[in-house]
Amino acid sequence: MMTEEILSDKGGRVFRQKAYLASLRNELELIIEKLDLEPLQKDFLRLRWLDQVLWMEERANSTKVLYYILRLTTIVGGVIIPALVSVRVPSEEAITLVVFVVSLLVAISAALEGFLRYGEQWRHYRLKVELLKNEGWLFLQLSGRYHRFKIHENAYATFARRVEEWSRLEVGEYITEVARDKTEEDEVVEEEERERTADQQHHSR
């Protein structure tokens, strides 16, 4: 019963998120269509700004859910294990098996979170999508840095440049992150290789 309720709640949450994204797309599509821009410029807004906003919004939501699932599994499992160990029951084998399974789930959850970094991904995508949305609203309302423009057509070049800068930063940060992870992995491999060589030299003596 509890499993069915959890699955039902998860399904309802996914449906609401998809409905929100669909509603957001429709509303922004209508706003874009009313702007005093050339058709090609409107296509740019849809392909280079709106699609990025929707994609990052979806990624932020999905990584948040996965992060919460893994973190809650780790936290709740870590609390349950000592309680199970302290319980005295006639069949200790059953308790031992349950403790083993829960410990395995906790270890897997912690390892997945450490490797996939859903928490960092969630914060990354949430920050970027809010910045992109904020930039878009400033442009649509001709406020902030766009207040000096009288019409959207004049502000379009500045907005397009800003969006492309955000996209370039996104790719640059990703490459930097991958390079950092690769460097750390290389350092670990080199350290293991040095330890293995030292052990071989020690045994050869």
CA–CA gap between residue 47 and residue 53 (Å, rounded): 10
Contacts of residue 105, defined as CB under 8 A and 6 or more positions apart, other chains included, come to 73, 77
**Do 160 and 49 meet the contact criterion of CB atoms below 8 Å apart?**
no
Residue 91 CA: distances (Å) to CA of 97, 103, 150: 10, 19, 79
pLDDT in tens, the chain (205 residues): 434 444 455 556 667 888 888 888 899 899 999 999 999 999 999 998 999 999 999 999 999 999 999 999 999 999 888 888 887 767 777 788 888 889 999 999 999 998 988 998 899 899 889 989 999 999 999 999 999 999 999 999 999 998 888 777 766 565 555 445 445 445 544 555 555 555 555 555 5
Task: Pinpoint the alpha helices (H) of the chain.
Answer: 2-34, 39-44, 51-86, 92-116, 118-141, 152-204
> CA–CA separation, 115 vs 194, rounded Å?
24
Polymer length in residues for the chain: 205
